Amino acid sequence: MDDLRDLYQEVLLDHHKHPRNRGKIENASHRAEGYNPLCGDKVTIYLLLRGDVIENVTFEGTGCAICTASCSVMTEILKGKTEADAERIFGEFHDLVTSDPDSEFDASKLGKLAVFAGVREFPMRIKCATLAWHTMKAALKTPGGTVTTE
């Protein structure tokens, strides 16, 4: 458990250094840009939906390690999920990163997202972790717009 409380652990750093699903989807059905004015993090999320299933999801942009890793992990998790799944997982993720740093969480349910538990110790960095998800949600709802984490 101590391991998971550490913000910059191996899994997170690996996603930062070797981000998965980075790039553009040329025939994306949904797309949104997200901006975190605090850090200057800027990401674009591309989605390709077939029915309500996320067939492909990628990201582009520059940001801090937390932001990049979050984009990378999110895109891995969401592939093949439905829109409803995405909303639910975002909810679980949001609950995790905004929970009390000392509270317990169900690491098995959260899977890879549990690596972001360390963010709870650094309230100023929560927005770095959630930008990818807010942007994904915005892409699903209003393709084309820019969201900020403010």
Partner 1 sequence: MNHDIRKNPPSAAARPLDPARIRGEFPALHQTIRGKPLVYVDNAATTQKPQTVIDALVHYYTYDNSNVHRGVHTLATRATEAYEGARRKVASFINAGDPAEIVFVRGTTEGINLVARSFTGCCIESGDEVLISAMEHHSNIVPWQILCNESGAKLRVIPMNERGEILLDEYEKLLTPKTRIVGVVHISNSLGTVNPVKEIVERAHARHIPVLVDGAQSAPHVAVDVQALGCDFFVFSGHKMYGPMGIGAVYGKREFLERMPPYQGGGDMIASVTFEKTTYNTLPYKFEAGTPHVAGVVGLGAAIDYIRGIGFPAIEAHERGIASYAVGRLSAIPGLRLIGTAKERASVVSFVLDGIHPHDVGTILDREGIAVRTGHHCTQPVMDFFGVPATSRASFGIYNTREDVDALVAALYKVKEVFA
> What does the binding site for partner 1 look like in residue numbers (CB under 8 A)?
7-8, 13, 38-40, 62-66, 122, 124-125, 128
Beta bridge mates, 44: 33, 60
In terms of CB distance, is 60 or 92 closer to partner 1? 60
Minimum CB distance to partner 1, residue 109 (Å): 26
In terms of CB distance, is 64 or 114 closer to partner 1? 64
- Angle, vertex CA 43, rays to CA 68 and CA 35, nearest 5: 115
Report whether 21 contacts 59 (CB < 8 A).
yes
Q: Hunting for tokens 């990378």 — which residue is that?
A: 72
In terms of CB distance, is 48 or 97 closer to partner 1? 97
- Where does the chain show beta strands of DSSP type E? 30-36, 41-50, 53-62, 146-148
Minimum CB distance to partner 1, residue 146 (Å): 16
In terms of CB distance, is 8 or 23 closer to partner 1? 8
Distance CA 69, CA 136 (A): 15
DSSP assignment, residue 124?
G
Minimum CB distance to partner 1, residue 15 (Å): 13
Minimum CB distance to partner 1, residue 40 (Å): 4
